[in-house]
Structure 1
């Protein structure tokens, strides 16, 4: 079964990501299929490609109108016929519904996106029963499970509706991986025989950081966002009021931000979402109502102003960053009083629900307070092991970059546990702390605790120290919080044993955060291709925005950033060349390409650019075969010594050949080689010298630096400089 031709034809990709290929084979074979793939793992292609390849129409059940609209725009972008994908939901009028039915009847529509509520309608079921249906895909399938974080009751009836339409294969897709949710989904849909595919939940390009939440939190957020002006970000808050406040503070500080929450009317919500997608604003401040429908690949950061209610939600929400495999920074602000607030909200709920809620919250506290590798903690929660030494993305979190201080607290833990035991395990954490530091109040006095010999036994330490210790001891399960008597702290069996046989307990001290600490901020963008022509990238992005506005679609639905970078690397000047660019298939080239190849063609002519395809023809004194060899192997980032040896050259001869290439206007990117020889400050110093110097003469540079650098280092830096500044 050839999947590669259709993949290239429809989507412009030459290879599949992760498990996509196996999943698509399962669907094309007509098998029920269950896919667990993290946000950003490429779930939608798993059903879009087989739908485009097969006869008939695929029904895609999706929970959000915005999500459907995005996907329909994207699919229409790769086809010349708008009827290839349709939405069928409450937002359509009679004429539009008639058009959808027509296109399905005529075999034009390959993907029909429906909300579960619409699928219940008798008239739609009757109509669909008469059509050729290829399969049914259920996106965001965790909505089926009451254990999922986004349960939707109308999803639970899907099994009967699908059976009523046709006996076709079902594919379920979710980014939620706990065992309980998985089993519930399969059981409810009656597809326990489904082929199961579970991708790794490791998003190696995301950087995780948790900072203590102080009174300065708004300032911290503004500082963080201002360092990333022009980049897209999402800020999550738990309350609508806070969303409005933060959005206003950002606006006042000159940041293009909009609020998004369920309290706004539908029109405003759609408008704000579109502004974000169309890049008319940089930041959306939102409650969790925002996000499931957001298929924006270049969100560069996700900030949690308030810690979420479960690690599941946290993973989902942070997963909206860096979906194009570029940089993604996930910053959460954490204060234990936010957890207490969430616990209070839960107190009014049924005990069973409280139990689930408390268990989930405890995991969040553990994550926020852990001093271990955050990625390891998160993946462990999803049942996946991670090697924090060599795993992909192993150093991409604050704890690995910035290990917290620890000290031995075995004796303090023993003291704490004894006080809990001696006060008959009847106090909440706050009263336990008051007992330790010897602070009297009405409750302690009424129980005569203030008269006990252990009252004030820990007064040499602060209340916040003991509170932090309680939370860390809670995470490793020496104590637990009682569900029935809200918040009362009890010893576990392990806690009882610790009192008798204490073992080492390394208590983590809080990070001290300050402005300088922001140098942990990373840029790890894989999308910033080899040596794309930045000037052309800007022109192409401006054009992309115009085309997107004209077509009424988000810019990335025209071309994604990696495609723009690749255009600025390959300079395609006709549609055939454009269709060979990364992520651009024939359909896309025909639909959007005309304006882009014209711009590039004019640009190449005006700037006398030597295009990659011309390299072999236009030689400038260098043997063109050798020239191409050098360009290809520096692109592959081979060590310069190896490139020289394989052609029998001395290092200074290789540098000379590279100089001829670079001075003739062709780019070579040797940054990787320079990074091994010179550090960032040294490179900057030489770069500044060439920038300010009137001549690029190497002897003058050697005299200027007076022995700090040798000739080869300066010549290589001059190549990098010309590459960046002149070419």
Structure 2
């Protein structure tokens, strides 16, 4: 199929004049009948890579997606563009399913979304054998990786798609995968001969910041009130209890926050998710069960109150911010307890030694990202095999941390752990070890006569927080370990290298103040300029943008769809900047396709005209 044909569809249906980097080649390859494995960041435009070929090729595009709760919104968004879309999943009654199946067989659909478990059904397989299919798209393909962060057993069945219809091209897509995971996806889905497309993993509009954890909820509140007042965002916590308590804390501080975790009943989860998608300015506090496939483009921040288990998980979760390309924040509060807790979880995990080694490797990479004194974006992209230069838009670039020679401090701490074991046959957690080092004569120190140890008081030159940072960094470097339910500190095989063999231990000074605020200098690249240029509005444009958002909210309520289904924020900002006065001028705005121009054009021009008249 020709490039002009796919470009016409891009403009007529989706309202864009040109493809983003990498999209055109993928679209043309799949449109021509080729198989593809696509790695592209969240917000990079993965869906267009299968939607446009499905619209150009004869037949119906079958999209396998694990996101049952979001299929209705995905289909609504496509229908708003004039695309004939439907879905089949367990939420439908038999009559609804029969209607959609009839539309599929009669060629009345362009795209049909399926949950992966439906492919286990013999009736579904027979249905797919009877209809004309343009392509198979396997979304969230990392779910096939058994050691990935979102493993779904049903995805292991998707290799059968090739057996079912060997004549139909397949495209598997994911927002995150290391080279090892990429190979596993190709093998498990029988895409060994597929062409691989790997886009840049860089999200230059996201500012990555990792702060020392002191009072995390208070720190979170400061972030929200000082930088993201009124913004939509996601806060991730590891436990259900923490989700509930954090949401209640934010509500008590006047921030509208909703909890989301697997312990809530299905109706509550669906209601909270729906509100987040449909309303502006809501914060969802959630476990990692929330977020995959959330297509809300104007999430302005993603915050983590607990350490993610892997760089893949962290990247996937932070990628839910700023899908519209506008400036957004990825913020993580990280402390000693996170490292201790994660190490304990790994030690107590199910699975064999090889599995625990994989988990440890994932955690080690995450800790290296947290402890780096270099550019976080460089470290993050390097994990995915992408070389880069310092970004100028992360905390370590904006406020470079100081490093110091922590060798003597490490020796003092490791000596204390060793002497407790050798001289007293004891093991203690971080608190007691720090009290010994600082020479504190607490009741517990006196009870165990730890003030008689030769190391008592040798660390009085550092404060509690500084010693906790030392322990955290030794744990991150594998020079110290924790064991047991109480997180007691023990030495490792490499501890002797520091104690007796002259190994030096460079350490990172935790910043004492908040990293540089928004608006600090950013890397001057064409990609960044294209993505953020519409974020800087003058006073009149800002007022018009706010009126357009009000109009959009009312239009979305009338149709019962999320606001972004009507128009993205980026489209409204461009309208506010250009102030079109005719349908032709409005049709030239990115994100305004033919169907949306017909459906919403008059209303948009009335809002713009009223603003100009008022001005």
Identify whether the pair has TM-score above 0.5, normalized to the shorter chain: yes
- Worse-superposed segment, 356-365 or 238-247: 356-365
State the match for 1:526 in structure 2.
Answer: 533
- Once the two structures are superposed, residues 481-536 of structure 1 have per-residue CA deviations (whole angstroms, 9 ceiling, x without a partner) of 48999976445569638843455x543222213xxx47613488433366673333
Aligned to 2:572: 564
> Match of 1:257?
257
2:221 corresponds to 1:219: no
Alignment of 1:339-358 (within 5 A): 339-350=339-350, 351-352=352-353, 353-358=355-360
Query: After superposition, where does 1:544-693 map in structure 2 within 5 Å?
Result: 544-601=552-609, 604=612, 606-607=613-614
Counterpart-to-counterpart distance in 2, 1:186 and 1:4 = 29
Offset at 1:113? 0.6
Which aligned pairs between 1:197-596 and structure 2 lie closer than 5 A?
197-215=197-215, 217-227=216-226, 228-279=228-279, 281-350=281-350, 351-352=352-353, 353-388=355-390, 394-415=391-412, 430=430, 457-458=458-459, 460-462=461-463, 464-476=465-477, 479=479, 481=481, 489-491=490-492, 496=497, 499-503=500-504, 505-513=505-513, 517=514, 520-522=517-519, 525-528=532-535, 533-596=541-604
1:377-400 per-position Cα deviation (integer Å, ceiling 9, x unaligned): 222222222211xxxxx1212222
Query: How far 1:195 moved relative to its partner?
Result: 0.5
1:372 to 1:474, Cα distance in 2 relative to 1, 3 A: farther
Quickly say closer, same or farther: Cα 1:436–1:174, change in 2 above 3 A: same
- Residues 16-25 or 461-470, more deviating: 461-470
Following superposition, the deviation at residue 354 of structure 1 comes to 2.9
Q: Comparing 139-148 with 365-374, which one deviates more in the overlay? A: 365-374
The CA deviation string for residues 226-245 of structure 1, in whole angstroms up to 9 with x for no partner, is: 33332111111111122122
Inter-CA distance 566–19: structure 2 relative to 1 (3 Å threshold): same
Structure (1 or 2) with the larger CA radius of gyration: 1
Cα shift readout 1:28-60 (whole Å, capped 9, x = no counterpart)? 121110011111111111111111111101111
Contact 1:367 1:377 in 2 (8 A): yes
Structure 1 counterpart of 2:135: 135
Question: Deviation of residue 118 (structure 1)?
Answer: 1.3
TM-score (norm 1): 0.74
Aligned residues: 593
Pairing 1:86–2:83 present:
no
Compared with structure 1, are the counterparts of its residues 272 and 189 closer, same or farther at alpha carbon in structure 2 (3 Å cutoff)? Answer: same
Distance 2:441 2:232 in 1: 51
Change (3 A) 1:442 1:59: farther
* Rounded Cα–Cα distance in structure 2 between residues aligned with 1:326 and 1:280: 16
CA distance 1:603–1:54, change in 2 (3 Å): same
Of stretches 152-161 and 430-439 in structure 1, the one that deviates more from structure 2 is: 430-439
1:190 equivalenced with 2:190 (yes/no): yes
Distance in 2 between residues matched to 1:258 and 1:455, nearest whole Å: 48
Distance 1:56 1:521, change over 3 A: same
Q: Deviations over 1:599-636 (max 9, x none)?
A: 445555x35xxxxxxxxxxxxxxxxxxxxxxxxxxxxx
Distance in 2 (CA, whole Å) between partners of 1:144 and 1:259 is: 28
**Which structure exhibits the higher relative contact order, with contacts defined as CA atoms closer than 8 Å and separated by 6 or more residues?**
2
Compared CA separation, residues 254 and 459, structure 1 to 2 (3 A): closer
What is the DSSP-based 3-state SS (H/G/I as helix, E as strand, rest coil) of the residue aligned with 1:101? helix
Q: 2:48 aligns with which of 40, 45, 48?
A: 45
Cα distance, 1:463 vs structure 2: 5.8
Shift of 1:473: 4.1
Aligned equivalents of 2:20 and 2:588: distance in 1? 19
Q: Unaligned 5+ residue runs, structure 1?
A: 389-393, 608-726
Counterpart CA distance in 1 for 2:288 and 2:322 is 18
Q: Name the SS for the 2:380 alignment partner.
A: helix
Give the conservation status (yes or no) of the 8 Å contact 2:27–2:49: yes
Matches within 5 A, 1:72-111: 72-79=75-82, 84-111=84-111
SS at match of 1:238: coil
Report if the CA contact (8 A) 1:529-1:562 is conserved: no
Instruction: After TM superposition, give the deviation of residue 317 of structure 1 in Å.
Output: 1.1
Q: Which residue of 2 aligns with 1:68?
A: 71
CA–CA distance in 2 between the matches of 1:383 and 1:444?
49
Instruction: Give distance in 1, aligned partners of 2:464 and 2:546.
Output: 55
Q: 1:108 to 1:472 in 2, by over 3 A?
A: same
SS in 2 for 1:109: coil
Task: Please say if 1:163 is aligned against 2:200.
Answer: no
- Taking structure 2 as the reference length, what is the TM-score of the superposition? 0.87
Mark the CA change 1:453 to 1:72 in structure 2 (over 3 Å): closer, same or farther.
same
**Alpha-carbon contact 1:64-1:293 (below 8 Å) kept:** yes
2-side partners of 1:467 and 1:566: how far apart? 48
Deviations 1:246-280 (A, max 9, x none): 22222222222211111222222121112111125
* Bigger shift: residues 218-227 or 405-414: 405-414
| Cα distance change, pair 459–214 in 1 and its aligned pair in 2 (3 A) | closer
TM-aligned CA deviation for residue 117 of structure 1: 0.8
Superposed, which structure 2 residues align to 1:166-181 within 5 Å? 166-181=166-181
> How far apart are 1:355 and its partner, in Å?
2.6
Distance change (3 Å), C-alpha of 1:386 and 1:274: same
